[in-house]
Amino acid sequence: MAGVVSIGIGFFLFMGSFLSYYYKKPQKLTWTLFGVAIMFLTVIPVFLAVFAASTPPAP
């Protein structure tokens, strides 16, 4: 469930990055939103899949 939420947040951050570019906001804002979106779309779901989902439950 956390992976799906992370991807949803990343999607909205990606949209914010595009809108920031489209409305000619500062480049720093655009690239910051894009970088954080990439984190939410790739790094966090992979971390959850490898370490959280693959760990056996406690007895």
Report residue 1 as tokens. 């469930």
Q: What is the pLDDT of residue 52?
A: 80
Report residue 10 as tokens. 């990343």
Task: Give all strands (DSSP E) within the chain, no chain letters.
Answer: none
Averaged over successive runs of 10 residues, the pLDDT of the chain (59 residues) comes to 91 97 97 96 91 79
The model's pTM is 0.83
Q: Give the start-to-end residue ranges of the domains of the chain.
A: 2-52
